[in-house]
Structure 1
Amino acid sequence: MTYAAADARYDTMQYRRSGKSGLKLPALSLGLWQNFGGNRDYPSAFEILGYAFDRGITHFDLANNYGPPPGSSEELFGQVLARDFRPYRDELIVSTKAGYNMWPGPYGEFGSKKYLIASLDQSLRRMGLDYVDIFYSHRYDPETPLEETMGALAQAVHRGKALYVGISSYPEAQTRQAHAILKDMGVPLTIHQPSYSVLNRWIEDDGTIDACGELGIGIIAFSPLTQGVLSGKYSAGNRSNTRAEDEKGSLRDSHLQPRVLDAVEKLRPIAESREQSLVQLALAWVLRRKEMTSALIGVRTLDQLKDNLGVIHNLDFSDEEIAAIDNATHDGLLDLHPRPTGWLR
């Protein structure tokens, strides 16, 4: 059966401008990290992707290394584009990134022009696209001049292979430098993708969020649920059918410390008083900031997606609620400030 998008797909989603650009993103964007690789068949993938688009999620976020195995998420999404989403390409925002290890040798990771341009070409082939809407430097490379990394992003725009460019997991100082370099090249830095959640506030602590607001850079937060910890599913010690069950997964032991899980449980009555799930409370908290363009969600099931989408109905907080959330999480905060080696993502 040929897919036809829902006529009412734009009726409930909220769209926010990315910084000072003309680009608007849905308040919730769908990331294809970990859950849309070689272990996902087409029907189950499209069940989620089609449902998301039918509810106004127009932005699908990928990277060269997303899978597993690396590259498989882009390949699967390319199949969806070719079979079902092709008529809607101009309604979609497709983003990808390069920065983590993809192939052997000295040119297969980090921030050189050699790697970034080659990776973008590979990503375009995997997805069957002529261009992506957003191309990111996936992590700051301390051993490559930032002028070279940003020059590769600018080249992607000038050659029509990307409409906008962004950075991911860059600290405040490097964010300001990247913005200035790109500005001199005539290419705006449109968006920053850092990790951010009620338990992980490094972009507040080091001033990255304030810098983005000042410079007109949009922000899309990844891991707004702290790798699923803020769903509450780990609080009773359950790890079956979760990321914690995979020893090679991205969930760190530090995420499951008793003090962290206790903070999550303290949030539960606040969520209940707002008639929200813990997931919805956590997403609304991330989206409360005016600098925040979108929250990047990752789901394994359609039910998880539906729970996430429920946040749209209640995004406002009272001062008392914010204070209660700060008090509940005070002893459970994590130090996830990006290091040169960055996140495994």
Structure 2
Amino acid sequence: MYQANKDRYNKMIYRKLGKSGLKLPVLSFGLWQNFGEKNDYETCKEMILTAFDHGITHFDLANNYGPPPGHAEIVFGKILKEALMPYRDEIIISTKAGYRMWDGPYQDGGSRKYLISSLNQSLERMGIPYVDIFYHHRFDHETDMKETMIALRDIVLSGKALYVGLSNYNSEQLKRAHQMLDEMNVPYVITQPSYSMLNRWLEHDNLLQTQNEIGGGTICYSALQQGLLTNKYINDIPVDSRAKNPDSMWFSEKNITDEARAKLMKLDVIAKSRSQSIAQMALAWCLRDERMTSTLISTSKITQLHENLKTLENLTFTNEELQAIEEALK
């Protein structure tokens, strides 16, 4: 029988999630692409339990994670049942709805029907009565925002989610949504944008400041740019890498250009001077502003998880290091 490491909370750093009473670990665990039917269940279980043993208390899912869609929630529900249910009150579970999940005209978006139906299915797959955070996964231009926000309110009132979040919303969209949620006394606490050294749109959008002003926290995904910001692609493309995986979404061999390799070689020099890998430095870089509450990590191997956890050994940057990174990214 699994027994959690008693020293787990001394191994992690936690940041307050906006003005809410929640705290998140600076490294949270995402189950996007590595918990599908083709992934080994025992490896998946080992990664989740190892993460928890190191103080990672936040596990992030969505209805369409797998592949196929829904499978990640099934796997996580099985791990909960077999090992983690005694620790449920120590864990933050989040899931989302917004992208395509099933056939027909109500398969995605922000309609009341889709969001409520999707969450009901997610809870059934995981075998739990509620999630801690339920996100609208993407802004929907075809649905009146008020309908989406009312659906989120009613989900909280039903007891099926404790808090709500908004993912892939820009600053202006967040402001509009938050005004509606605030008027309805809905506990909105978090936004989840993409962000990395190679994807810095939120800086130009001023999203961290916007989110801070409305009282929420921020957690970013794809901090390693689908695995590009690692040491593995400096010289060649490993056979077992995501770039070689035909099921990989949004990342392939085409992303590994000569220009990208040149940047990686420069970043590697800086990372080594910090006694870090490129991946560790990239994760720490995303957390350099404390308004970034947490960054998601998603691993397919236990060795990758241990490497990511070592990021915590050096989260600070000198001005010279930050300038060197800017030069390397030009």
Q: By the TM > 0.5 criterion, same fold?
A: yes
Contact 1:46-1:80 at 8 Å conserved across structures: yes
Amino acid aligned to 2:261: L
The question of 1:46 aligning with 2:45 is answered yes
TM-score normalized with structure 1 length: 0.93
CA RMSD of aligned residues (A): 1.2
For 2:170, the equivalent position in structure 1 comes to 171
Contact kept? 1:243, 1:250, Cα under 8 Å: no
SS in structure 2 of the partner of residue 260 of structure 1: helix
Give the counterpart letter for 1:35 in structure 2.
Answer: N
Letter in 2 for 1:312: L
CA distance in structure 1 between the partners assigned to 2:19 and 2:240 by the alignment: 41
Deviation of 1:178 after TM superposition, in Å, equals 1.1
Residue 188 of structure 1 deviates from its aligned partner by: 3.1
**Is this contact kept in 1: 2:242–2:251, CA < 8 A?**
no
Q: How far apart are the structure 2 equivalents of 1:248 and 1:145?
A: 34
| Secondary structure of 2:93's aligned partner | strand
Q: Secondary structure at the match of 2:10?
A: coil
Runs of 4+ in 1 over 3 A off after TM superposition: 251-255
Q: Percentage identity across aligned positions?
A: 52
State the match for 1:338 in structure 2.
Answer: none
| Letter matched to residue 132 of structure 1 | V
**Cα displacement (A) at 1:200:** 0.8
Aligned to 2:262: 262
Listed as ranges, the matches of 1:111-190 within 5 Å are: 111-190=110-189
Could you tell me how far 1:324 is from its partner in structure 2? 0.8
Aligned to 1:231, what secondary structure does the other structure show? Answer: coil
Q: How many positions carry a matched residue from both structures?
A: 329
After the TM superposition, which residues 1-345 of structure 1 pair with which residues of structure 2 at under 5 Å, given as runs?
2-252=1-251, 255-330=255-330
Distance in 2, Cα, partners of 1:255 & 1:207: 27
Q: Which sections of structure 1, spanning at least 5 residues, go unmatched? A: 331-345
Instruction: Please state how far the C-alpha of 1:239 moved relative to its aligned partner.
Output: 4.4
Matched residue of 2:229: which SS?
helix
SS in 2 for 1:268: helix
**Offset at 1:107?**
0.6
Distance in 2 between residues matched to 1:151 and 1:232, nearest whole Å: 45
Structure 2: give runs of 5+ residues left out of the alignment: none
Whether the aligned pair in 2 keeps the contact of 1:244 and 1:251 (CA below 8 Å) is: no
Q: Distance in 1 between matches of 2:186 and 2:155?
A: 10
The one-letter amino acid paired with 1:153 is L
Q: Give distance in 1, aligned partners of 2:212 and 2:326.
A: 22
Contact 1:179 1:188 in 2 (8 A): no
Deviation at 1:171, TM superposition (A): 1.3
SS in 2 for 1:230: coil
| 3-state SS of paired residue (2:285) | helix
Task: State the Cα distance separating 1:174 from its structure 2 match.
Answer: 0.5
Distance 2:256 2:149 in 1: 37
The whole-number CA distance in structure 2 between the counterparts of 1:311 and 1:25 is: 16
Deviation of the 1:199 alpha carbon: 1.1
Q: Report deviation, 1:176.
A: 1.1
> Which SS does the other structure have where 1:74 is aligned?
helix
TM-score, normalised on structure 2? 0.97
After TM superposition, give the deviation of residue 248 of structure 1 in Å: 4.2
1:212-240 C-alpha deviation (Å, 9 max, x unpaired): 12222211010000000001212223142
Q: How far apart, in 1, do the equivalents of 2:116 and 2:42 lie?
A: 32
Name the aligned partner's letter for residue 51 of structure 2.
A
Q: CA deviation at 1:177?
A: 0.9
* 1:98 partner amino acid: A
Provide the rounded CA distance (Å) in 1 between the counterparts of 2:312 and 2:261.
25
Cα distance in 2 for partners of 1:23, 1:127 equals 22
